Structure 1
Amino acid sequence: MMTLRQIEVIRAVMVTGTIGGAAKLLNVSAPGISRLVKYTEKSLGLRFFQRQNGRYFPTPEAQNIFEQINGVYKKVDDLSETISNIGRGALSELRIGSVPSISQIMVPRAIEQVRRRYPELRIDINILKLEEAIDYLLLDRGECVAMSYRLEHPGLDFLPLASGELFCVVPDGHELAGCKQVSAKQIIQYPLIGIDPNDPYGRIMAEIFARNKLKYDITIRARFGTTVCALVKAGLGIAVIDQFTVAHGGYPGVAIIKIVEPTRFDTYVAVKRGAPLSLHVENFIACLRAEMQAINPTRNPPAKAQGRPRKT
């Protein structure tokens, strides 16, 4: 039986035709190559080479062995190419979902980092509602969904992403636009644009008023935060929106104002319970978590969450 090192040395001599050439090819000393060739021939009881004028030529009985050695090297080269492709992401696809509030700004920034690390990775991104997210994961259409809320479900785990805050958004030029902060009581004095309070995401927005026992009227309802911001920009009212929707100046034409009352909420990544996560989705989650936590670095991720422990 030959070791991989012996196979490597014998092939190097075969390719270069000299001990010195093999030593240079393998970046080792020539005496070491010579000793290993002699040892291999002695241990196997056959001669690999005939020496003529300082060069090494394969013996007739060794020809079949050399063909097998070349076959081994071809398989090693194929393995190396496969490993290289995996490292570039060429043989894989990242399939992820996200609720709209996180998909607008945060997901693209995370994907940019993922693409830099895996330049050939195929990526499929789906913008999902809550009811769609459950089937998306349970039917293995994707590996994870970025969520602005957590629900109890026996088939899902929820991994913490980041905590965020709500802000009041008003059109540029609005009388509140110059304020450093506003209260919930001030906000309800203006026509409100928002998301249905019965929607899980809408409840996050409505909680500020419910907690302060304030009656409010949403004059225009829209399904997604980006639509809400567009309506605000058009001068049709003001709104309460999460910081991730409007992060990094992602929605010009509106002023973003801090709200006096506490408005913290938590975000998560939902995954199918018990399903192993691919290397690429783990990298995406890490990038997304870093991007979202960087928006407000003084905030810590939510302390309580169902789910698997993070890998170390």
Structure 2
Amino acid sequence: MRLKPRQVEAFRSVMMTGGITVAADAMNVTQPAVSRLIRDLEEIVQITLFERVGARLVPTAEATQLFREVERLYLGLDQIAQAADDIRRHKNIVLRIASVTSLVRPYLHQAIINVVGNRLDIPLVIDVENSRHIWDMVDKNRYDLGFVFSSPRMADKNAVLLHGSSAIAAMAPDHRLASRKIITPADLMDERVLIPGRNSPLRLALDRAFSREDHQPASTMETSMLNCCHFAASGIGIGIVDRTSLHSAGAKVVAIPFEPRIDVSYFAIRPSGGQRIPVLDDIVKRVRELMERPFNNPVDPMFNPPT
């Protein structure tokens, strides 16, 4: 025999009111009906829940423990009811956003400040994850909005292009290759090359470039693109990164185009069939505006367009 909601309701009512009579009034049923519901519940759970002491019903220790679990259930139901009310009124809905590290600062950080600001009616969860995880979680409707790094051909109808460019070789200003116009795989044979992780579209294209040219670098260091930028600035190697990551890192490096050309892009992605939420549209718009601004690098004249 399975538990019935009415039995649990009767138990909770008796525990909260302290007696059958008051519980029956609260439930708008007869006293015998409440007593029967309690007996049925005791039979199902095989626990004695109340002991009669004179005219009073005294909860057993087991009843007190069970009541704690029942209260958690009702608290959960109350939260669901509140969530439904918030959804109906479009209020206090927690918006879940995920972003790759390269876009958190300054882009997403500034967009949140500009769009959300002091609005207390917009609870947010902001996670920093890799692109593959974000694509997967958005597809499962676990995130309302994702900012990812990808190749242009990976875009779909739910993706909005934020910014596109090509890969560059980042190095310290005093590096022996800093005066080159372009950098090729052959130039890197005697260098330590700082490369992004294996799941990165840039890394996949870079591996193909080295394979085609039959030139492998003397040494590699695999890390995040932001770390590639910082290590490159320290002179430990040459980082193959994108301009957006370089901007986010703020590293003082010389940036030289890498050939063969590797196109890199950033996208904002949303769940398929998801409800359009204006504040998220505004965040996407603001991130794109910020990414389209010229990036001034104090070291590399490539990043200082004439005004």
Please name the residue that 1:226 is paired with: 226
Specify the alignment match of 1:270 in structure 2.
269
Write out aligned runs for 1:192-231 (5 A). Answer: 192-197=193-198, 199-206=200-207, 208-209=209-210, 213-217=213-217, 219-231=219-231
In structure 1, distance between residues paired with 2:114 and 2:232: 31
Q: C-alpha separation between the residues in 2 aligned to 1:251 and 1:218?
A: 27
Cα distance in 2, alignment partners of residues 95 and 196 from structure 1: 25
Amino acid at match of 2:281: E
Q: Is residue 252 from structure 1 mapped to residue 251 from structure 2 by the alignment?
A: yes
What TM-score, normalized by structure 1, do the two folds share?
0.55
Which residue of structure 2 lines up, in the alignment, with residue 161 of structure 1? 162
Could you say if the C-alpha distance between residues 233 and 128 of structure 1 is closer, same or farther in structure 2, counting changes exceeding 3 Å? same
Please provide the CA RMSD for this pair: 3.5
Q: Distance in 2 between matches of 1:172 and 1:203?
A: 27
| SS of aligned partner of 1:203 | helix
CA-CA distance at 1:270 after TM superposition: 2.0
8 Å Cα contact 1:164-1:265 kept in structure 2: yes
Distance, in Å, in 2 between the alignment partners of 1:152 and 1:123 is: 27
Mapped pair 1:294 → 2:293: yes
Is the 2:138–2:144 contact (alpha carbons within 8 Å) kept by the matching residues of 1? yes
- Mean Cα displacement is larger for which, 144-153 or 261-270? 144-153
CA spacing shift, 1:207–1:148, aligned 2, 3 Å: farther
CA distance in 2, matches of 1:127, 1:198: 16
Q: Report how far residue 240 of structure 1 moved.
A: 0.9
Gaps of at least 5 residues in structure 2 are 1-85, 296-307
Between 200-209 and 167-176, report the one with greater CA deviation: 200-209
**AA matched with 2:213:** K
Change (3 A) 1:182 1:135: closer
Q: How far did residue 180 of structure 1 move?
A: 5.0
SS at match of 2:169: strand
The question of whether the paired residues in 1 share the 8 Å contact of 2:229 and 2:251 is answered with: no
Q: Residue in 1 aligned with 2:138? A: 137
Q: Give the deviation of 1:122 after TM superposition.
A: 3.6
Q: Does the residue aligned with 2:251 lie in a helix, a strand or coil? A: coil
Query: CA distance change for structure 1 residues 260 and 146 in 2, over 3 Å: closer, same or farther?
Result: same
2:170 and 2:254 in contact (8 A); partners too = yes
Gaps of at least 5 residues in structure 1 are 1-81, 297-312
User: Which segment is superposed worse, 227-236 or 237-246?
Assistant: 227-236
Q: Give, in whole Å, the separation in 1 of the partners of 2:189 and 2:115.
A: 41
Equivalent runs, 1:122-133 vs 2, <5 Å: 122-133=123-134
Q: How many angstroms apart in 2 are the aligned matches of 1:253 and 1:219?
A: 23
Q: Matches of 1:165 and 1:171 in 2, distance apart?
A: 19
SS state at 2:125 partner: strand
Sort the Cα spacing of 1:279 and 1:257 in 2 relative to 1 into closer, same or farther, 3 A.
same
Q: Describe how 1:31-180 pairs up with structure 2 within 5 A.
A: 91-116=92-117, 118=119, 121-149=122-150, 157-180=158-181
C-alpha contact 2:230 2:251 (8 A) present in aligned 1: no
Kept after mapping to 2: 8 A contact 1:101/1:224: no
Hey, what's the Cα distance between the residues in 1 that align with 2:218 and 2:109? 30
Q: Could you tell me how far apart the structure 2 residues matched to 1:172 and 1:258 are? A: 15
> Amino acid of the residue matched to residue 265 of structure 2?
D
SS in 2 for 1:232: helix
Q: Which stretch has the larger CA shift, 238-247 or 166-175?
A: 166-175
Residues 185 and 215 in structure 2, CA contact (< 8 A), matched pair in contact too = no
Say whether 1:182 aligns with 2:167: no
Query: Partners of 1:207 and 1:108 in 2: how far apart?
Result: 34
Give how far 1:204 is off: 4.2
Structure 1 residues 49-72: Cα deviation after superposition (integer angstroms, max 9, x where no partner): xxxxxxxxxxxxxxxxxxxxxxxx
Secondary structure (helix, strand or coil) at the match of 1:277 reads coil
1:115 CA drift (Å): 3.5
Larger relative contact order (CA 8 Å, sep ≥ 6): 1
Alignment pair present for 1:285 and 2:284: yes
**Aligned pair count?**
207
Question: Per the alignment, do residues 286 and 226 of structure 1 end up closer, same or farther by CA in structure 2, a change over 3 Å counting?
Answer: same
Quick one: distance in 2 between partners of 1:207 and 1:109?
Answer: 36
- % identical aligned pairs: 14
